[in-house]
Structure 1
Amino acid sequence: MLLLREWKKILLLALPSLFAFTTQTLTGTINLIMVGDLGALIIAVVGVSNIIMYNVFAAFSGIGHSINYLVAQNYGSNEMPKGIQRTYMALFVSLIVGLLIVSFGWSAGGLVLQWMGGKPDLVAAGSTYLELRFYAMAIGMISFVFHGFFRGVGDTRTSMIISILANVIMIVLTYALTYGELGMPRLGLPGAGYAIIIGEAVGLAACMAVFWGPMHRRFATRQRPATDWRELALIGKESGKLGMMEFSMSISMYIFTLFVMQLGTVPLAANEVALSIMSFGFMPAFAFGSTATILVGQEIGRKRPSDARRAGTHTAVLGSIFLLLLGTAELIWAQDIAGLYTKDREVAELAAFLIQVSAYLQIFDGFFNFYAGGLRGIGDTAFLMKASLVLSWLMFVPLTYLFVNVLDLASMGAWLALYSFLTALGLTVMIRYYRTDFHEVKLKEASAV
């Protein structure tokens, strides 16, 4: 009965996060399908813009991730005034970062497309759209801090509702503003950019309403705390480490894609289809990893190290079961699933093969997310940054070059490199988790900076 209660608690936190992350993935897919009628050039613009935005988000995502685990610890230790103070500090940092992103998008949106190797027609078609995406990202970075707070106090349901609201608005307005439907002006691709901005703005407004509304009754969130430069330094340091971890992985994935591009159109298309399908396995990994951060952080705050360690293990077990079931479905129906994405037989067959190869190997990506979530919960962010940097640049990128360019293993070689990296990363983080003496873990304090 105790085990069932633990698993129920985990699922009540993980499932809303899973729905939220899945909604975001579906929104991107649906929006790409909708603007796809504008032509291949527009699809290319959106694809390149997505890569750029993914890396921008990765670079600064540490702000939201750090406030997530810090607030979880404060919530568990019943020190929410400090959690509120840290949230205000993180909001200040995210506002500065947002202004920098806006300035960069306004001044260099078109230049970024040129730096990415875009031809003149792609730059001309995509400059305005990419500029709007930078503006939307600036808003999203602030919202991400609020979501980190909501999850830190265990309220993943609110985070889910706001995410779904924002994404539904994006989908509806992308259709309306791109094609001039529902009484809206026909703006073409820029209309899709405005739709994302509006959706992000509504999401931010909803976050603010909840944070300074219902959350005020629980945690006195309207009482603005005094500025503490030590806490600001702590936020900056933790955000930097977690941001570096995410950014190193996103850049190495971009280089991985460049290697695949050398193989030709069919391998590149199959790679993108397979990655899109496998992203539905990444979502539960992210969701259960986020849940591990919440539960481990809260138990560390309550000074119950054994319960913290156990919570991370239970979360990993449940997440692994979920991924194994999903992998079985992908293994059985790989051909049918790939056929939904493309009618090109050669592309579909190669994509299906890649999916079948990775169906069960994705469990190691799960291990990384589950146990990295647990390590975030105890504040072991330095190890996560170092592991990501070392394995991304000393293993993943060289292996991809070796398997693709030297051994000529084509797409199979690229995916062998990818899953060799994920396997090593997952096992490394898992070993670190179980070799850590949780009784020696202390709450993250600003005085330690």
Structure 2
Amino acid sequence: MNLFRKWTQILLLALPSFFSFATQTVTGSINLIMVGHLGYVAIAVVGVTNIIMYNVFALFSGIGHTVNYLVAQNYGSGEMKKGIQRTYLALAASAAVAVLIAVAGICGGRAVLALSGGSDELVAAGGQYVELRFWAQALGIVSFMFHGFFRGVGDTRSPMVISLASNGLMVLLTYALIEGAWGLPELGLAGNGCAILIGEAFQLACCMFVFWGLKHRKFGTRIRPKIDWSELRLVFRESGKLGLQEFSMSVSMYIFTMFVARLGDQALAANEVALNVMSFGFMPAFAFGTTATILVGQAIGRGEALAARRAGTDTAVLGSIFLLLLGTAELIWAVPIAQIYSKDPAVYEVAAHLIEVSAYLQIFDGFYNFYAGGLRGAGDTAFLMRSSLALNFLLFVPLAYLLIMVLDWGSMGAWLSLYTFLTVLGLTVMIRFYRTDWHAVKLKEAAH
């Protein structure tokens, strides 16, 4: 297969994932813009809640990531019966987690928002909103598990179509429920929470239809699964490692947000706007990272070690080109972009400056996602967990505290700590990828 065909294959997998993740980002941005006219407190509520939801998702996202790479390996090796069995085990785990998240939202949603360090006004305004977001996240965890299966078998189009439909529904309902349009009640900020909940329910219904309907024709997904305890332990162990990897990232971001919150609601709003804009860079990074997991995992399943390494490299090259082009656009139009979110000079001027600083630095976040995706496809989950835990809590959190709380560098200090961390993390994972002995990488099997 020549270089052109390889890159075409990568793009055919990555672009649907990019549009899927970008749809979520665009939806979040549109929602934030529609919420923005309610005031900077509403923007800050959404920002803090997004961080909370990121933590909840990250803690249990390992289930979806595990299904993704295990199914990719099983697909490559022609052992899809085992891949279906593992998917059912992961489905049971994600359903149990969904119940736990929903109960947590009912019993402790407001308390978690209060712990964020925001003002009393912020907590009062966001109590009902954060509860609705907990319920929506409960459904989202199960959907993410199904997406892991779809991508593992090389189907990135189904998640894209499902994301387009569900997020489009969220946008329409957000407008209607915030403004009271089309005969629906005017709910303000809570309207956005209701819209997200309904959209997530619709997404889960679509995932179930695709898995038990469309995919049954090819993979025989409608089975009566038998519990294999060794496979169940494998799913839990791998989910735990990948979940801790993501959770350490999300917890450190939560602590980071608590530090920023002490700079005031306007600084918090500016930080949220900048993060929202920079998420347009996170999305292609995630998309190409997911593609690396698919291609590397399937190559390992086929027993083609060097092809796996080359697939990871090609994916990283293409992903980096995307991020450099995007960073150029963000650098040129930073101020107009920030003004879309807020007309308050105290918010958009700071946000624009943060965007300019990070426009090209986001390439290191890309390195992290590209090469972590490749290592995930190879089953090197222990290293990803350890490196994430160490660098988040020994570098990022202490540096953020030093620059924000001790040296009082404000929003710029916060941003410098974030991108110093991402640079070190990205380079660490990249070095690991190229120092891996690919001939020694084997299929991930349960220990009997």
Q: Same fold (TM over 0.5)?
A: yes
- The one-letter code sitting in structure 2 at the alignment partner of 1:204 is L
Q: Which runs of 5+ in 2 are unaligned?
A: none
1:372 aligns with 2:366: no
> Which 10-residue stretch deviates more, 4-13 or 349-358?
349-358
> Which 10-residue stretch deviates more, 320-329 or 141-150?
320-329
SS at match of 2:215: helix
**Map of 1:19 onto structure 2:** 19
CA deviation map 1:284-333 (0-9, x unaligned): 11110000000000000010011000000000000011111112222233
Q: How many Å separate the matches in 1 of 2:385 and 2:43?
A: 34
Q: How many Å separate the matches in 2 of 1:442 and 1:387?
A: 22
Quick one: structure 1 residues 322 and 343, their matched pair in 2 at CA, closer, same or farther if it must change by over 3 Å? same
Q: How many Å separate the matches in 2 of 1:307 and 1:42?
A: 49
The structural deviation recorded for 1:346 is 5.2
CA deviation map 1:257-289 (0-9, x unaligned): 233334455544433332222111111111100
Q: How many Å separate the matches in 2 of 1:197 and 1:263?
A: 31
SS at match of 1:55: helix
> Which 10-residue stretch deviates more, 106-115 or 92-101?
106-115
**Map of 2:96 onto structure 1:** 96
Quick one: structure 1 residues 441 and 390, their matched pair in 2 at CA, closer, same or farther if it must change by over 3 Å? same
**Map of 1:227 onto structure 2:** 227
**Map of 2:246 onto structure 1:** 246
**Map of 1:137 onto structure 2:** 137
Q: How many Å separate the matches in 2 of 1:217 and 1:87?
A: 17
The structural deviation recorded for 1:87 is 0.4
Quick one: structure 1 residues 338 and 129, their matched pair in 2 at CA, closer, same or farther if it must change by over 3 Å? closer
**Map of 1:357 onto structure 2:** 357
Quick one: structure 1 residues 421 and 251, their matched pair in 2 at CA, closer, same or farther if it must change by over 3 Å? same
**Map of 1:163 onto structure 2:** 163
**Map of 1:432 onto structure 2:** 432
Alignment size in residue pairs: 448
**Map of 2:315 onto structure 1:** 315
**Map of 2:332 onto structure 1:** 332
Tell me the TM-score normalized by structure 1. 0.94
The structural deviation recorded for 1:222 is 0.5
Quick one: structure 1 residues 264 and 115, their matched pair in 2 at CA, closer, same or farther if it must change by over 3 Å? closer
SS at match of 1:6: helix
Quick one: structure 1 residues 112 and 355, their matched pair in 2 at CA, closer, same or farther if it must change by over 3 Å? closer
Q: Which runs of 5+ in 1 are unaligned?
A: none
The structural deviation recorded for 1:211 is 0.6
Q: How many Å separate the matches in 1 of 2:181 and 2:303?
A: 56
Quick one: structure 1 residues 116 and 271, their matched pair in 2 at CA, closer, same or farther if it must change by over 3 Å? closer
Alpha carbons 2:90, 2:145 under 8 Å: kept: yes
The structural deviation recorded for 1:51 is 2.0
- The one-letter code sitting in structure 1 at the alignment partner of 2:34 is M
- The one-letter code sitting in structure 2 at the alignment partner of 1:323 is L
Q: How many Å separate the matches in 2 of 1:412 and 1:129?
A: 29
What RMSD over aligned residues (CA atoms) do the two structures have, in Å?
1.9
Equivalent runs, 1:285-304 vs 2, <5 Å = 285-304=285-304
- The one-letter code sitting in structure 2 at the alignment partner of 1:136 is A
> Which 10-residue stretch deviates more, 219-228 or 31-40?
31-40
Aligned sequence identity (%): 69
Q: How many Å separate the matches in 2 of 1:344 and 1:123?
A: 22
**Map of 1:68 onto structure 2:** 68
CA deviation map 1:11-63 (0-9, x unaligned): 01101111111111111221222234444544443333222111111111111
Alpha carbons 1:338, 1:348 under 8 Å: kept: yes
> Which 10-residue stretch deviates more, 368-377 or 98-107?
98-107
CA deviation map 1:345-366 (0-9, x unaligned): 4544433332222222111111
Alpha carbons 2:72, 2:294 under 8 Å: kept: yes
Alpha carbons 1:85, 1:224 under 8 Å: kept: no
- The one-letter code sitting in structure 1 at the alignment partner of 2:296 is V
Alpha carbons 2:288, 2:369 under 8 Å: kept: yes
Quick one: structure 1 residues 328 and 298, their matched pair in 2 at CA, closer, same or farther if it must change by over 3 Å? same
**Map of 2:206 onto structure 1:** 206
**Map of 2:184 onto structure 1:** 184
Quick one: structure 1 residues 442 and 130, their matched pair in 2 at CA, closer, same or farther if it must change by over 3 Å? same
The structural deviation recorded for 1:128 is 2.7
SS at match of 1:446: coil
Q: How many Å separate the matches in 2 of 1:109 and 1:410?
A: 29
**Map of 1:279 onto structure 2:** 279
Quick one: structure 1 residues 176 and 410, their matched pair in 2 at CA, closer, same or farther if it must change by over 3 Å? closer
Q: How many Å separate the matches in 1 of 2:40 and 2:414?
A: 25
Alpha carbons 2:30, 2:171 under 8 Å: kept: yes
Alpha carbons 1:67, 1:90 under 8 Å: kept: yes
Quick one: structure 1 residues 135 and 309, their matched pair in 2 at CA, closer, same or farther if it must change by over 3 Å? same
SS at match of 1:212: helix
CA deviation map 1:337-392 (0-9, x unaligned): 33333334454443333222222211111100000000000011110010001001
> Which 10-residue stretch deviates more, 106-115 or 244-253?
106-115
**Map of 2:149 onto structure 1:** 149
**Map of 2:385 onto structure 1:** 385
**Map of 1:57 onto structure 2:** 57
The structural deviation recorded for 1:121 is 5.1
SS at match of 2:17: helix
Q: How many Å separate the matches in 2 of 1:191 and 1:337?
A: 25
The structural deviation recorded for 1:401 is 2.2
Q: How many Å separate the matches in 2 of 1:347 and 1:123?
A: 20
> Which 10-residue stretch deviates more, 406-415 or 418-427?
406-415
Alpha carbons 1:66, 1:238 under 8 Å: kept: yes
SS at match of 2:221: coil
1:258 aligns with 2:258: yes
SS at match of 1:221: coil
Quick one: structure 1 residues 186 and 413, their matched pair in 2 at CA, closer, same or farther if it must change by over 3 Å? closer
SS at match of 1:430: helix
Quick one: structure 1 residues 79 and 253, their matched pair in 2 at CA, closer, same or farther if it must change by over 3 Å? same
- The one-letter code sitting in structure 1 at the alignment partner of 2:400 is T
Quick one: structure 1 residues 414 and 124, their matched pair in 2 at CA, closer, same or farther if it must change by over 3 Å? closer
The structural deviation recorded for 1:213 is 1.2
Alpha carbons 2:44, 2:272 under 8 Å: kept: no
